[in-house]
A and B are shown apart, each in its own frame.
Chain A
Amino acid sequence: MKHIEFTIDGKTMTAKPGQTILKAAEAHGVYIPHLCAYKDLIPHGSCRVCSVRCNGRIQAACVQTVSEGMIVENDTPEIHEFRKAILDMLFVEGNHFCMFCEKSGQCELQALAYRFGITAPQFPLLEPERELDMSHPDVYLDHNRCILCGRCVRVSQDLDNKNCFQFVGRGHRKRLKVNGEALAETDLRVTDAVVASCPVGALMKKRVGYAIPIGERHFDQQPIGHAIEEKNS
């Protein structure tokens, strides 16, 4: 198969035809921070954390496919500022209390915040009123922590062959909705792939909170992106 040559931050790399910038970079041990992108699901392109400058224009690396001679800027002060701002937007949009959240240490949003040196949000909190759905026997849904990344929507459809979640409303009123009045009305099972797909503490298994001691949690060990960057060293 013909390979495509392109550069990230001046470093020449190759990609397969049709490969996204995100995937091609990962294959070369270059970590491009991302949130809504998940495994091999069709990219959502919604969080914009993976924004890169690509031939002069800002594009989402999870969506944009590589083309011959493409010039990608990933690790620049400008991109860093954009990503930090976007992460901050996600924090202030919801109600995130890392200090007592069960997802702490395993949360991708929190881990990205650490990676970007965010200790407190730069924007004023929006403090929305959000619901908590405890109706399901084994899983709960805390809308306070939902970042509308759409992972659960896609995983439920594409991997679980169900349709437990979808977005309703638009703009700042957009929110995640379950197929029914509450989670218990859906055919969601605790064993479904969707339960583990949430990057934050919105969709959570019940009765397993705080099971892993501080210091041993996933991101206590290594920063997010480390597994990819390790390949490069």
Chain B
Amino acid sequence: MKQALATVVQEICKKYDFDKQRMMDIVLGVQGRFGCISVEAMDLIAEMVGSHRVEVESVVTFYSFLSLKPQGKVVIRLCDDIVDWMKGYDAVADAMSKALGITMGETTSDGAITLTKTPCIGMSDQAPAALVNDVVVTNLSPERAQDLIHNLRRHLDPQQLVTTVGDGNHSHPLIRSMVRNNIRRRGPVHFADFEAGQALKATLAMDPEAVIATIRASRLRGRGGAGFATGLKWELCRNTPSDRRYVLCNADEGEPGTFKDRVLLTECAAQVFEGMTIAGYAIGADTGIVYLRGEYAYLRPYLEQVLEERRANGLLGRQIQGHPSFHFDIRIQMGAGAYVCGEETALISSCEGHRGDPKNRPPFPPQCGYLDRPTIVNNVESFSAAARIMLKGAPWFEAIGSERTTGTKLLSVSGDCRKPGVYEVPFGISAREVLELAEADNPGAVLIGGPCRQMLGPDRFSGRICYDDLATGGAFIIFNRARNKLAIAERYLDFFIDESCGHCTPCRVGLQLLKNLVHKVVTGAGEPSDLAEMRRLSNIIIQTSRCGLGQAAPNPVLGALENFSALYTDLVSERSPGLLSTFDLSRAVVDAELRVGRQSKYV
């Protein structure tokens, strides 16, 4: 067995040239073969790539999908995102637990099936959903969950769970998935016809500076949500002297409630890859990397084939479309379950084979990014838009949208509505219009941009989706009036606590303290001063955290405090001075009682 392990680890390390920068691929490969990355495997990997066990362990323990301990042959990761929870997560989880005879986090005694939970897997439009190894199962009910377990027990082959396939490319032999696109509104930028190579042809007819000028003139801004001017980012990168530059595509779509990149990659992969190639030409890069979130591993074989086709057609590789000096290729880097890797510098760390810790900024990636070279990191949707801009021209693009935010936005609409799915809408559309399009059910609140933004009440529904008003990376989660907004805020806070990288103090510790305060208030033990303290602590965390995660994490709580303040104020009351409302005497003496073996008669 030991010999077998050594042989296989060697084989996997060799596949990646014993390069420790490919640590993610190596550990994913080892886990794929052995179900975990054991201490022995870590020692072998460290030895072979010239690293140390603790360095390997540091990477492995960072990502939720990697495990030091053996897991079941099949791992079920039930999505416990808010939307799944609203659509019946508890009952589904219960049904699975019962059918398997284990609780969440355990493995069946025969070592066959592990049941665990995971944050948003990008299926909010067909929730509750789960990953069964790499296979996605959607629209779960307790009955379907029972059937699923029953069938799985029989064959232990997740792929056999797919009995009906979704629309569009989901029937492609390399995808074969029950996932549905749910494209509800097709706009001109992403979902219009696209012939591979045409945008690139238009691009290569210009010099790189002119390409950047076109993107600048289109006023395209980053579609991940932050809204940095794409053309400016490319220009900064191009102007940084270096022997190499890199194009990174952020397909780590982890913001809860966002799934539009999933649809783009399923239906418009060629357009996305073409956008990356255009960027490569513009900035002077020869390598592109798609950082694909582990949850979308089911798309990988198909995406690899699209890349292969492009190579065969002279759209990737050397001398692209006959251009004598333009060479560019793309590889896919798999993630392994870490929300923070959607932060661009964390994504770079992960691509380099490290923990997905964000990096200190400055320097910014266009100056010093992947392998310390100038790098652009753009969202999937930004690359898709860039390809269309090169095809149709900047004036065409600029004419769409609102005056200050050009183009269209893909919204991932989910929650309490009749028509969840992807909507390509012009910027400037109001939240109310989107609610109407989606046939929202008695909406009491909407979370535009996901939990990193604040939840808005009906008084803000007239707000417009654009960078000057309601900025969004794509999530549009609808909550009806009956939903418990405080419970939602608390759950989102839990999500951020779990997904924090733990590097900086305010995010790592401050969020736990904030959670304890919120819990105190929600359970009725709070005082008015606690609400002020929640605001103060939130501000400290937002101001002093190192990256966007910590700077956004208090937003669910702050949003509830700002926009639904009565909900909290109703829960708090003044206490007698000198009493600590959270102190529970009977609980405090439990430990002592256990030790002395008798119960106190006074508490």
Contact = CB atoms under 8 A, between A and B. Distances in A.
B505 A171 contact: no
B61 interface: yes
A179 B544 contact: no
Interface stretch (A81-89, A132-140, A222-230): A81-89
A166 B55 CA distance: 6
A43 interface: yes
B497 A179 contact: no
A207 interface: no
A41 interface: no
Contact of A179 (B54, B501, B503, B537): B54
Contacts of A60: 360, 546
Interface of B is mostly: helix
Interface stretch (A44-52, A68-76, A112-120, A190-198): A44-52
Contact of B508 (A124, A171, A178, A179): A171
Interface string A146-170: 0010000000000000011111111
Of B362, B511, B544, chain A has the most CB atoms within 10 Å of the CB of B544
Interface string B242-254: 0000000000000
A203 B227 CA distance: 44
A177 interface: yes
B23 to A, nearest CB: 13
A90 interface: yes
B313 interface: no
Contacts of B109: none
A85 B512 CA distance: 14
B513 A47 contact: no
Nearest to B64: A170
Interface residues of A, number: 40
Contacts of A148: 502, 508
Given A46-B503, A89-B509, A92-B513, A170 B61 contact: yes
Contacts of A92: 509, 513
Contacts of B506: 48, 85-86, 89
Interface in A24-70: 43, 45-49, 51, 58, 60, 63-65
B160 interface: no
B316 interface: no
B362 A167 contact: no
A174 interface: yes
Contact of A163 (B54, B501, B513, B543): B54
A10 B52 CA distance: 48
Given A46-B546, A48-B544, A48-B546, A172 B54 contact: no
11 contacts: A48-B545, A49-B505, A85-B506, A86-B505, A89-B509, A89-B510, A169-B502, A170-B502, A172-B509, A177-B54, A179-B54
Given A60-B360, A82-B543, A92-B513, 6 more contacts: A45-B546, A89-B510, A124-B516, A163-B52, A163-B54, A171-B499
Q: Which 10 interchain pairs have the tightest Cβ spacing?
A: A174-B502, A89-B509, A179-B54, A171-B500, A166-B54, A168-B61, A163-B52, A45-B360, A166-B58, A63-B360
Interface of A: 43, 45-49, 51, 58, 60, 63-65, 81-82, 85-86, 89-90, 92-93, 123-124, 126, 148, 163-174, 177-180
